[in-house]
Amino acid sequence: MAARAVTLALALTLLASCSSDPSGPATQTSAAAAYQNCRPAAAAGFFVDPNSAAVLQVQRWEGQQRADDAAALRKIADRPVATWTSDGVTTVGAYVDAILSCAATQHQVPVLVAYNIPHRDCGNFSSGGAGSPDEYKTWIRNFAAGIRKRQVTVILEPDAVAHAVEGCESEERYALLADAVTVLKSAAAKVYVDAGNPRWITDVRKLADALQRSGIAKADGFSLNVANFVTTADNIAYGRQISDAMPSKPHFVIDTSRNGAGPLDGPGDVDGGPRWCNPPGRLLGAPPTTTNTGDPRADALLWIKRPGESDGACRPGEPAAGQWWPEYALDLAKRST
């Protein structure tokens, strides 16, 4: 159930491969240089990252004469997908600025995921995060400084609230999230505080209370299903229940990146790993959109989890959380229309 992220170091490695010196070190400078090569996009809307792992994989396969595989993977590479930001207190601002500058050149709006809360993922597959509350406050302020009041949607700390409801770093975490909402809104970002998924926290009123303590009143709403597989219909029903439990009736967004076939149901683990982690036989979900979401309180369907990146090393041979996994990406793409 935990969300998975590309670490900043991995993202910079991918971006460096697009720079003039692909053998050089993965630095923030190389990231900014890569994004300076952006060109106006064919269509406005959400940001399609020209330097994503999927785009680079398409280029590699085309160069290797794997035309059919490259064409299939374009179902991911050509879609707008969120960019995750994790480590790098001193570099995160420049990284955010580079992404937003590229998006502005393409006349598109990026979706960023802030994923650096202390004791992230409660020590599970995506463990890490800022080393202290003060470090996190500095990090989120540097993140916000990179926005410079340009258009951006921020998904704030996947899993953090749901884990807090379960007792993980709850009191301190709520305060950090509320502070982050205030800081990001001051930078003119649209902010959605993550609320888990319909199969996680069943006590909706308890979850709604946790969201209110996390600053939801100042945010634009909450996000659902990040890195999970629950159907859009179930998320809309769950989102309405959460929204109805709060006086402000906040709106929500849904991650549809991999929910085209729904979750992998059944008892127990699969080959020794949890069913939410890299399950086989899944499909890409509905493309990102702000229209025809299925409910007036659903502001958007988004691809927040980057399809093709591992949920974690849940079984022997599976990559670590956030690492690009071309075989899994290709399977998702080939199964999907």
**Model confidence band, residue 34 (pLDDT cutoffs 50, 70, 90):** low
Q: What proportion of the chain, given as a percentage, has pLDDT over 70?
A: 89
Task: Give me the mean pLDDT over the 138-159 stretch.
Answer: 97
SS3 label, residue 112: strand
Task: Give me the mean pLDDT over the 146-166 stretch.
Answer: 96
The C-alpha angle 225, 229, 230, rounded to 5 degrees, equals: 70
Distance CA 19, CA 16 (A): 5
267-281 per-position pLDDT tens digit: 999 999 999 999 999
Joined tokens for residue 265: 């149901």
Asked whether 251 and 223 are in contact (CB, 8 A), the reply is no
The pLDDT assigned to 28 comes to: 42
* Alpha-carbon distances of 291 from 188, 233, 287, 296, rounded to whole Å: 22, 15, 11, 9
Looking at residue 319, the DSSP 8-state letter turns out to be: P
Please give the full DSSP string across 67-83, using - where no structure is assigned. HHHHHHHHHHHTS---E
Q: Is the pLDDT confidence value at 24 over 80?
A: no
Asked whether 239 and 298 are in contact (CB, 8 A), the reply is yes
The length of the chain, given as a count of residues: 337
Please give the full DSSP string across 42-111, using - where no structure is assigned. SS-EE---TT-HHHHHHHHHHHTT-HHHHHHHHHHHTS---EEE-S-TTTHHHHHHHHHHHHHHTTEE-E
Distance CA 308, CA 331 (A): 9
Specify whether 121 is catalytic.
yes
The C-alpha angle 184, 189, 194, rounded to 5 degrees, equals: 70
Task: Give me the mean pLDDT over the 214-229 stretch.
Answer: 98
Catalytic residue among 49, 69, 121, 220: 121
Q: Give the lowest-confidence range in 86-90, 228-232, 329-333.
A: 86-90
Domains of the chain: 8-335 (3.20.20.40)
Q: Is the pLDDT confidence value at 30 over 80?
A: no
φ/ψ of residue 272, rounded to 5 = 90, 0
**Model confidence band, residue 37 (pLDDT cutoffs 50, 70, 90):** low
The pLDDT assigned to 8 comes to: 43
For the chain, the straight-line distance linking the first and the last C-alpha, in angstroms and rounded, comes to 26
Q: Is the pLDDT confidence value at 180 over 50?
A: yes
Please give the full DSSP string across 125-183, using - where no structure is assigned. TT-B--SSHHHHHHHHHHHHHTTTT---EEEE-TTHHHHHHTTSSHHHHHHHHHHHHHH
Q: Which residue from 52, 54, 46, 2 is spatially nearest to 276, judged by alpha carbons?
A: 2
The pLDDT assigned to 11 comes to: 41
The pTM score is 0.91
Task: Give me the mean pLDDT over the 148-177 stretch.
Answer: 94
Antiparallel, parallel or unpaired: β 111-114 and 83-85: parallel
Q: Is the pLDDT confidence value at 40 over 90?
A: no
Asked whether 165 and 206 are in contact (CB, 8 A), the reply is yes
Task: Give me the mean pLDDT over the 208-215 stretch.
Answer: 98
CB burial of residue 305 (10 Å; 0-12, 13-18, 19+) = buried
Q: Is the pLDDT confidence value at 5 over 50?
A: no
271-319 per-position pLDDT tens digit: 999 999 999 999 999 999 999 999 999 999 999 999 999 999 999 999 9
Question: In sequence order, which ranges of 187-268 are alpha helices (DSSP H)?
Answer: 204-213, 232-244
